[in-house]
Structure 1
């Protein structure tokens, strides 16, 4: 699988309908469209900011502390992450 251009994905997310965005994210992850919809609604995050959170999670070079700091600075980023984590545990 080729590298994901997270910056381009975030830019496109702001232009896509919710359904288009959910389909795009579902195709890149193991998360269903229904789950993505729930995470976004529960956290009240924008599509663009959701991609920013996913980009930070995927940042292999960043430490966990750096990832946490970056996500904390994204509007509703922590809420989105907590919503996702609550489905796992």
Structure 2
């Protein structure tokens, strides 16, 4: 169940480590180290999380995983 509470948000020009890492550092300064991080499969996010929160458990969001997988699976199925 979603709470509807947003802890923090920012708009960044691209999903590159150059922009993600400073945002995660801000999160760390305000909230401290998280127990885990739930993220999509973007490599830059993985690298930034590893740099800012070394050793933290990183979980893949099932929604984003299935969405990415579904494009490959269902597009070939629908082409039949």
Q: Same fold (TM over 0.5)?
A: no
TM-score, length-normalised on structure 2? 0.30
TM-score, length-normalised on structure 1? 0.28
Query: Larger Rg: 1 or 2?
Result: 2
Greater share of helix: 1
Greater share of strand: 2
